[in-house]
Amino acid sequence: MANGVFRYEDDLLKHYIRTTAWLPLCKSRLAAVRAAPTRRERERRLRYFTFCAVGAIDVLMLDVANIIRRSSDGRFDTVFFFDRSPEYVIETQKRIPGAIGFPGDFTSVVLLEDAEENSVFDSETPLEPALNSADVRETRVNQLLLSQRRNFIQYFPFDVVNLDLEEFLLKPNDEFPGRLIRALSKVFTWQKRPLRISGGPSRSLDGFSLMFTTQVGPPNLTDEYLGMLRDRIGNNLATDDQLLDIMLDRTGVNDPLLLQQTQFEMFFKLGMPKVLASILMGTDWYVDAEYGLQIYEIERSTNGSSYKMLHLVMDVKRHNPPDDRRAPGTQSAEAEEAYRTLVRQVFATPETVVSDDTIDRAQLQADLDRIKARRRLYYDSEAEDGQ
Amino acid sequence: MPKIKVHEKALAHLSRGLYRSPASAIRELVSNAWDANAKVVRINTNYPNFFQLSVQDNGEGFTMADFKALMEGGIGNSEKRSEELPLFNDRPVIGRLGIGLLGIAQICGAFTVTSKTRQGEGFRAHVNLYDLLKEKLDRNDPAIVKEIVSTPVPGEGLDPDEEYGLREVDIGEYNFDKNFDPASVRRGTTIITEDIHPTFVQTFKESLNKEEFPKFKDPPPDWSKALTILSRVHSLQEMGDYWRLLWELSAACPIPYVSDRALPRRIVAEDQKRLGGYDFKVLVDGIELFKPVSLRGNPGGYTSRIIEPQSTTIYGKPLTFHGYLLVQEGKQLLPDELRGILVRIKNVGIGYYDPSMLDYRFNEGPRSKWLTGEIYVDQGLEDALNIDRDSFNRFHPQFRFVQSYLHKILHNEVFPEVYRNIDARSLAKKEIKGKEHRQHLRAILSGTSGKPVRLKQAPRNEEDDLPSVHVSEEADAVEVTMPNPTNIKTSKAYRDLASALITIHGVALREKTRDRQRRIFTELLLKLLAEW
């Protein structure tokens, strides 16, 4: 990752996904915001959470397309991002000035224990001088992490959540059900927080757009994780008679265990989206059936081996009525129907494989160049380095 | 002869408590960047959350060996860079790469230094400063206070040439990142806090809270607009610590003014040209800073005094300086922090603008709140600097020279001119007022007489005990000659009014009956006072 710039920044396969999947989804999300009932809600700017990496190509693409609007003094202050590297946070902020950057490990910050999680809190309380602990590094770091977490929570909800994590959703070494899954559950719960609009009403979002990226695999998943994926597929098959035939047609097998043993990749692709859908359902959201769940696949080679990335793109809706107005343990009818549709779609529709054969390289390159030209307006790294 | 020593523990204390504000600590890192031939220094505070702070430059960087020598050779013991590296664009060398590097320790307990040279050598080091250093020093904790030279042998007396009891004090430790690849970074040096102190974060976050700081505004990227915002507050205190950081850095760093017309009569044009020629930028959170002074458009005007380059030698050491003094006539400078005189050594601000004007001994009343100035010391005065580089030893002979020179100019030239200007403004104001009064008097007299009135003033003579009014009636107008106010023997403040009263009295006396005289006088009097 030379100079902190994302190594796949120039990858045109990735850029195809940005322009073909992410951009239209964000456009439609902006249209949804513009259709809000009150003027203040309609005129507000899109709130975007991302793991944009130093290059911030996704943010700048939305800037070029006028989907993300900067503040009157030119700040990207409705863009929020995490980066594990403190240095990359700084580099990112040079390219998208005014964006709100969080240094640190996203999952660790999200999963940090906070005794006051569900009560009224503010992000500055943890920063108060500790009464009974010495002023040592451990104390300070804990204070900062807690403050950071609360700060992060206060920025919720976002209109677009781009979890372009470039890593595995399921990690064999993680205690089941996995840190990332637990973190996502927290994030989707915080998405229910009311949006405060200055001078206007506070209202929970009806929906948001979600982009999620994961590597396929890993192949050495533990039995618990494999069992979870099998159960997802098995439950789907048990509740919809037609799925068995669909699966047989697509994979040649009708048994989840056999699928796992013989076609791990296919097994993962059928099971994983439902894991995500379940986390959403568990936090009072569901994948909108109208847009559905679009899955794109790209293959990357590195050091002689290759791996596949899946990009999931979806619109997410809030249950209606929401959970605080439903009987415990029940789902809204609309959400249940949407889930059935989604499952069938995942079983029936293969992912879109993005390869050199399917993209227009010249057009994508021209688009990427336009975005980079915009970036140079904010920060010209070449000029600054070229002494 | 036994030697007098400074205890190492005292020096160790300095590593933690040297600077009075974050800006002072950051200023030292900016100075290091300047000395490293950097063109751009970027300070990132992680605004608006402040979870980390970094200072990044695109200078020459330094090597792992340099860093090791600095850390292990004793902080503050480094050589002046002038011997190693000529600075480009005739930049003067500011200081030493040494204790300033630890400035950031003021706000964190650990930090990362990443550096890469033009030749591509580089390193990343994590520096961890010991917690609770003071307590450990006080109890001579052997983990950090180490005796490295012999103690006197009992019964043998002291050897005058021996360095007994010399101790080394460790204030922290560092380690190099073995996985660091210099190709992954650009040339220059980056320092990032690892565990920024919660109090710093809290204070800065609070400073953005509009309930606590109702005048707070997001600082605009254009610094001249930021200065307009600041010119509307009495003190930086009203804007909170974030704005204070920006302002203090803008005052301290060797950067240009917003333009060569930042001050009236282009009094900083020469300095602007010189500062611009150094090609040095400082940005905080993307905001490019310029000096915090930009004054124009004052209705009372400005009195300025350019201090041409002065050169002298004191105790064999050269001292040269130049600068300017500027008075914003009749109007207090805003914010308050701009009041006074800022001394710069090698273009770097020492402390803040000094509102005492280097202990000026005369009371100029509110007029001292109208004065701002900068003294650029090009050579000398460094020995007068206190170790925090924020203040001076006021009894240092070079400081006394600068002080005395400025005080003479202030007392003999600047403030006398200010007083003359005040008098001139008062006179002009009085003349305008007098004209307005006469116009008013003419209007009410015309209304009473039914004819246009020509109002004349009697010639200026000796003071008159009984000033009189002369009225002559013509066919189409009345000519009234009123007493000249300067001839009337009364308090200066009431002469215009006295002249007007005598005039209306004289006009009223022309009526034939007493009743009529009384009525006309009362009428004229009330009309006169209604708009006086």
DSSP letters, B309-348, are: EEEEEETTEEEEEEEEEEEETTS--SSGGGSEEEEEETTE
d(CA A156, CA B272): 46
d(CA B146, CA B402): 44
Per-residue pLDDT band for A2 (boundaries 50, 70, 90) equals very low
Helix or strand or coil: residue A205?
coil
Q: Is the pLDDT of residue A98 over 90?
A: yes
Q: What is the pLDDT of residues A195-224, one digit of tens each?
A: 988 777 788 999 999 999 999 989 899 999
Residues A195, A202: contact at Cβ < 8 Å? yes
| B56:A141 CB<8 A | no
Per-residue pLDDT band for B125 (boundaries 50, 70, 90) equals very high
Residues B89, B38: contact at Cβ < 8 Å? no
| B44:A90 CB<8 A | yes
A205 phi/psi in degrees, rounded to 5: -75, 145
Q: Which of B164, B197, B230 is the last residue of a domain?
A: B197
Task: Name the residue with higher pLDDT: A5 or B528.
Answer: B528
E strand map for chain A: 48-50, 79-83, 100-103, 160-164, 195-196, 202-203, 207-215, 285-287, 293-302, 305-318, 352-353
- Residues in chain A whose beta carbon is closer than 8 A to a beta carbon of chain B? 1-4, 71, 73-75, 86-87, 89-90, 93-94, 97-98, 100-104, 123-124, 126-129, 134-137, 140-141, 143-144, 147-148, 151, 381, 384-385, 387
- The secondary structure element, H or E, covering residue B443 is helix B415-449
Please report where in the chains the tokens 């929401």 appear, as a residue.
A322
Contacts with A140 from chain B: Cβ below 8 Å: 109, 195, 197-198
A49, B450, B465 from B469: Cα distances, Å: 85, 19, 13
Nearest to B184 among A3, A73, A134 (CB): A3
d(CA A114, CA A126): 10
Percent residues over pLDDT 90 in chain B: 64
d(CA B284, CA B241): 14
Contacts with A384 from chain B: Cβ below 8 Å: 39-40, 58
- Residue B429: inside a domain, yes or no? no
**Average confidence (pLDDT) over A355-379:** 96
Both B245 and B380 in one domain: the answer is: no
What is the distance in angstroms between the Cα of A3 and the nearest Cα belonging to chain B?
5
Q: What is the DSSP letter of B88?
A: G
Q: What is the pLDDT of residues B427-455, one digit of tens each?
A: 888 889 889 999 999 999 988 888 888 99
Q: In terms of Cα–Cα distance, which of A158, A79, A83, A153 is closest to A123?
A: A153
Q: What is the pLDDT of residue B4?
A: 58
Q: Is the pLDDT of residue B19 over 80?
A: no
Q: In terms of Cα–Cα distance, which of B35, B18, B226 is closest to B102?
A: B18
Both B23 and B164 in one domain: the answer is: yes
> Tokens representing B316?
């064999």
d(CA A122, CA A149): 10
Both B192 and B229 in one domain: the answer is: no
d(CA B459, CA B487): 9
Both B230 and B192 in one domain: the answer is: no
Residues B327, B370: contact at Cβ < 8 Å? yes
> Tokens representing A372?
């980079």
Q: What is the pLDDT of residue B157?
A: 66
Helix or strand or coil: residue B22?
helix
Q: Which of B245, B273, B293 is the last residue of a domain?
A: B293
Q: What is the pLDDT of residues A230-251, one digit of tens each?
A: 999 999 999 998 999 999 999 9
Both B269 and B120 in one domain: the answer is: no
Q: In terms of Cα–Cα distance, which of B240, B239, B238, B269 is closest to B256?
A: B269
Neighbours of B99 (CB within 10 A): 21
- Residue B326: inside a domain, yes or no? yes
- Residues in chain B whose beta carbon is closer than 8 A to a beta carbon of chain A? 37, 39-40, 42, 44, 46, 48-49, 51-52, 54, 56, 58, 109-110, 112, 114, 128, 131-132, 183-187, 190, 192, 194-199, 201-202, 205-206, 218, 220-221, 285-286
Helix or strand or coil: residue B110?
strand
- Residue B439: inside a domain, yes or no? no
**Average confidence (pLDDT) over B161-173:** 70
Q: What's the farthest any 2 CA atoms get from each other in chain B?
A: 123
Give the CATH number, domain containing residue B392.
3.30.230.10
Residues B329, B386: contact at Cβ < 8 Å? no
Q: What's the farthest any 2 CA atoms get from each other in chain A?
A: 68
In chain B, the residue whose alpha carbon lies closest to the alpha carbon of A155 is B49
Nearest to B40 among A87, A101, A384 (CB): A384
Q: What is the pLDDT of residue B82?
A: 43
Both B223 and B180 in one domain: the answer is: no
In chain A, the residue whose alpha carbon lies closest to the alpha carbon of B55 is A90
What is the distance in angstroms between the Cα of A137 and the nearest Cα belonging to chain B?
7
| B42:A94 CB<8 A | yes
Interface size, chain A vs chain B, as Cβ–Cβ contacts under 8 Å: 108
Contacts with A381 from chain B: Cβ below 8 Å: 186
Q: What is the pLDDT of residues B261-293, one digit of tens each?
A: 999 999 999 999 999 999 999 999 999 999 999
| B54:A90 CB<8 A | yes
Tell me the helices (H) and strands (E) count for chain A, helix number first: 15, 11
Distance, C-alpha B94 to centroid of its chain: 20
Q: What is the DSSP letter of A121?
A: -
- Residue B444: inside a domain, yes or no? no
In chain B, the residue whose alpha carbon lies closest to the alpha carbon of A385 is B58
What is the distance in angstroms between the Cα of A22 and the nearest Cα belonging to chain B?
27
**Average confidence (pLDDT) over B226-250:** 96
Per-residue pLDDT band for B22 (boundaries 50, 70, 90) equals confident
What is the distance in angstroms between the Cα of B183 and the nearest Cα belonging to chain A?
6
Q: What is the pLDDT of residue A127?
A: 87
Q: In terms of Cα–Cα distance, which of B393, B399, B385 is closest to B31?
A: B385
- Residue B486: inside a domain, yes or no? yes
Task: Name the residue with higher pLDDT: A349 or A116.
Answer: A349
Q: What is the pLDDT of residue B165?
A: 60
Bond before B335 cis per omega within 30 degrees: yes
d(CA A195, CA A201): 8
How does DSSP assign A123-148, residue by residue?
Answer: SSGGGSPPSSS-S-HHHHHHHHHHHH
d(CA A351, CA A353): 6
**Average confidence (pLDDT) over A153-168:** 93
Both B237 and B258 in one domain: the answer is: yes
- Residue B433: inside a domain, yes or no? no
Q: Indicate the number of domains in chain B.
A: 4
Both B390 and B414 in one domain: the answer is: yes
Assign residue B318 a region (left: φ > 0; alpha: ψ between -120 and 50; beta: otherwise). Answer: beta
| A3:B192 CB<8 A | no
Percent residues over pLDDT 70 in chain A: 97
In this predicted structure, which of A164-173, A310-319, A361-370 has the lowest mean pLDDT? A164-173
Q: What is the pLDDT of residue B473?
A: 86
Distance, C-alpha A72 to centroid of its chain: 28
Both B25 and B166 in one domain: the answer is: yes
Amino acid type, B496: D
Give the CATH number, domain containing residue B65.
3.30.565
Q: Which of B174, B197, B220 is the last residue of a domain?
A: B197
Q: In terms of Cα–Cα distance, which of B160, B270, B199, B158 is closest to B50?
A: B199
Per-residue pLDDT band for B192 (boundaries 50, 70, 90) equals very high
Contacts with A100 from chain B: Cβ below 8 Å: 48-49
Q: In terms of Cα–Cα distance, which of B498, B436, B510, B429 is closest to B472?
A: B510
Q: What is the pLDDT of residues A63-86, one digit of tens each?
A: 999 999 999 999 999 999 999 999
- Residue B271: inside a domain, yes or no? yes
Contacts with A89 from chain B: Cβ below 8 Å: 46, 52
B403 phi/psi in degrees, rounded to 5: -60, -50
What is the distance in angstroms between the Cα of B245 and the nearest Cα belonging to chain A?
17
Q: Is the pLDDT of residue A6 over 70?
A: no
In chain A, the residue whose alpha carbon lies closest to the alpha carbon of B113 is A87
| B285:A141 CB<8 A | no
Average pLDDT of chain B, as a whole number:
89
In this predicted structure, which of A175-184, B29-38, B130-139 has the lowest mean pLDDT? B130-139
d(CA A325, CA B446): 84
d(CA B438, CA B500): 8
- The secondary structure element, H or E, covering residue B399 is helix B397-409
Q: What is the pLDDT of residue B3?
A: 58
- Of the ranges A2-6, B73-77, B311-315, B462-466, which is most confident? B311-315
In chain A, the residue whose alpha carbon lies closest to the alpha carbon of B190 is A87
A316, B34, B94, B244, B253 from B346: Cα distances, Å: 60, 11, 6, 23, 10
Both B352 and B477 in one domain: the answer is: no
| B201:A147 CB<8 A | yes
What is the distance in angstroms between the Cα of A202 and the nearest Cα belonging to chain B?
19
Calculate Rg over the CA atoms of chain A: 22
Nearest to B202 among A2, A71, A124 (CB): A124
How does DSSP assign B199-267, residue by residue?
Answer: HHHHHHHHTT-TTT-TT--PPPSSHHHHHHHHTTSS-GGGGHHHHHHHHHHHHHSS---S-TTSSGGGT
How does DSSP assign A61-118, residue by residue?
Answer: HHHHTTSS---TTS--TTEEEEES-HHHHHHHHHHSTT-EEEES-HHHHHH---TTTT
Per-residue pLDDT band for B158 (boundaries 50, 70, 90) equals low
**Average confidence (pLDDT) over B249-270:** 97
Q: What is the pLDDT of residues A314-339, one digit of tens each?
A: 999 999 999 988 888 888 899 999 99
In chain A, the residue whose alpha carbon lies closest to the alpha carbon of B217 is A73
Residues B116, B188: contact at Cβ < 8 Å? yes
> Tokens representing B480?
């009234």
Both B49 and B179 in one domain: the answer is: yes
Q: Is the pLDDT of residue B221 over 80?
A: yes
By CB atoms closer than 10 A (0-12, 13-18, 19+), residue A325 is exposed
| B198:A140 CB<8 A | yes
**Average confidence (pLDDT) over B342-357:** 96
E strand map for B394-515: 453-457, 470-473, 478-482
Average pLDDT of chain A, as a whole number:
92
Percent residues over pLDDT 90 in chain A: 76
Residues A159, A47: contact at Cβ < 8 Å? yes
Range of the domain at B468: 451-530
| B52:A89 CB<8 A | yes
| A381:B186 CB<8 A | yes
Contacts with B49 from chain A: Cβ below 8 Å: 100, 102, 148, 151
Both B57 and B187 in one domain: the answer is: yes
Contacts with B109 from chain A: Cβ below 8 Å: 136-137, 140
**Average confidence (pLDDT) over A185-192:** 97
Nearest to B186 among A3, A102, A124 (CB): A3
Residues A332, A231: contact at Cβ < 8 Å? no
